């Protein structure tokens, strides 16, 4: 099977600090790839490069076998790489529907839409409801509820629904459970499963080892600006992963 997203020899320096040193990454269709690494290992730079927030000094990114380059998250998004940011990037004062379609609104047909540029609120609400129910999120009662009235987990749900709604090829999730309680974290992990079940591969960055081990198919361990190894969570213990991450143990040769 061909990988859907490939990063080859990515390098990035900030002054004298080497954040990425010929880093590689492969994401295969339908999988959840966990990305872990110690603080300062360069994993957040790696993710920022993949989502378009940082332009690498050198290296190549391939999507669907084609070489791509982008200079902003918006460009990455139009290519089909969606990111669910840690802060979710939602507007609390806007409704769920408004947030899901922010920057990608549906306009009315005909004169009202073309010349007066009126929004088709009905179509947007229907679509939003459809997407949320596909992900099993219809406990949210009112689609026109303001996002600030939602719980942290529900907000995460809206952000994920938005990220998977627009012809998405890859979803990057940055610390999706970091700000949540036990129950809501559980719900988000289920949500990751739902997204994978719909065939969208996910890159999951998290500090939470149990969460990564629970949902990831493969785990990419990042160390000193580059990929140290990729492990199968079924073959290793969490303590092994931590040992690889910190350099206490030699990684498997593969």
Partner 1 sequence: MNKISDDISKDLKDQPKFSDDIGSKDQDHHSFELGQQSTLKKIQHFLHGNPTMVPIIILVISVIAFGFIAGGKFFSAFNLSLIVQQVTIVGILAAAQTLVILTAGIDLSVAAMMVLASVFMGKLSVEMGMPTMPAIFIGTAVGVLTGIVNGLLVTRLRLPPFIVTLGTWNIFFALVIFFTGSQSIRSSDIEINAPLLHFWGERINLGGFVFTYGAFLMIVIFVVLWMVLNKTAWGRHVYAVGDDKEAAELSGIRTDRMLVSVYAVAGLVVGIGAWVSIGRVGSVSPTSFYEGNLDSITAVVIGGTSLFGGRGTILGALFGALIVGVFSSGLSIAGLDVLWQRFALGCLIIIAVGIDQWIRKVSN
Residues counted in the chain: 254
> Which residues within the stretch 49-78 sit at the binding site for partner 1 (CB under 8 A)?
73-74, 77
CB closer to partner 1 out of 146 and 238: 146
Residue 103 binding partner 1, by CB under 8 A = yes
9: Cβ contacts below 8 Å, ≥ 6 apart: 22, 23, 24, 58, 59, 60
Binding partner 1 (rule: CB under 8 A), the pick from 94, 143, 179, 243 is 94
Residue 248 binding partner 1, by CB under 8 A = no
Min dist. Cβ of residue 199 to partner 1 (A)? 24
Compute how many residues bind partner 1; rule: CB under 8 A: 28
Burial class (CB in 10 A: 0-12, 13-18, 19+), 66: exposed
Min dist. Cβ of residue 16 to partner 1 (A)? 28
Contact 164, 195 (CB under 8 A): yes
Binding partner 1 (rule: CB under 8 A), the pick from 11, 22, 86, 107 is 107
Nearest to 254 by CA among 222, 232, 229: 229
Fill in the per-residue mask, 149 to 188: x = in contact with partner 1 (CB under 8 A), - = not in contact.
x---------------------------------------
Calpha distance 201→192 (Å, rounded): 10
């Amino acid at each position: 099977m061909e990988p859907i997203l490939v990063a080859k020899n990515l390098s990035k320096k900030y002054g004298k600090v080497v954040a990425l040193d010929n880093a590689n990454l492969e994401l295969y269709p339908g999988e959840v790839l966990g990305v872990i690494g110690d603080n300062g290992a360069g994993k957040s730079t790696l993710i920022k490069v993949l989502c378009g927030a940082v332009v690498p000094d050198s290296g190549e990114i391939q999507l669907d076998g084609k070489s791509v380059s982008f200079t902003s998250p918006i460009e990455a998004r139009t290519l089909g790489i969606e990111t669910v940011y840690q802060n979710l990037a939602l507007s609390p004062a806007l409704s769920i529907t408004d947030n899901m379609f922010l920057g990608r609104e549906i306009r009315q047909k005909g004169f009202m839409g073309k010349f007066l540029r009126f929004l088709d609120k009905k179509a947007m609400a229907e679509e939003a409801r459809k997407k949320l129910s596909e992900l099993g999120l219809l406990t949210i009662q009112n689609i026109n509820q303001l996002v600030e009235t939602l719980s942290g987990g529900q907000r995460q749900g809206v952000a994920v629904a938005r990220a998977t709604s627009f012809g998405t090829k890859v979803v990057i999730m940055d610390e999706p459970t970091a700000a949540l309680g036990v129950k809501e974290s559980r719900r988000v992990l289920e949500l990751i499963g739902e997204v994978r079940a719909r065939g969208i591969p996910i890159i999951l960055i998290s500090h939470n080892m149990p969460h990564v081990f629970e949902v990831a198919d493969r785990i990419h361990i990042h160390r000193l600006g580059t990929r140290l190894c990729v492990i199968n969570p079924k073959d290793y213990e969490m303590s092994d992963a931590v040992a690889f991450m910190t350099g206490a143990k030699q990684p498997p040769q593969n």
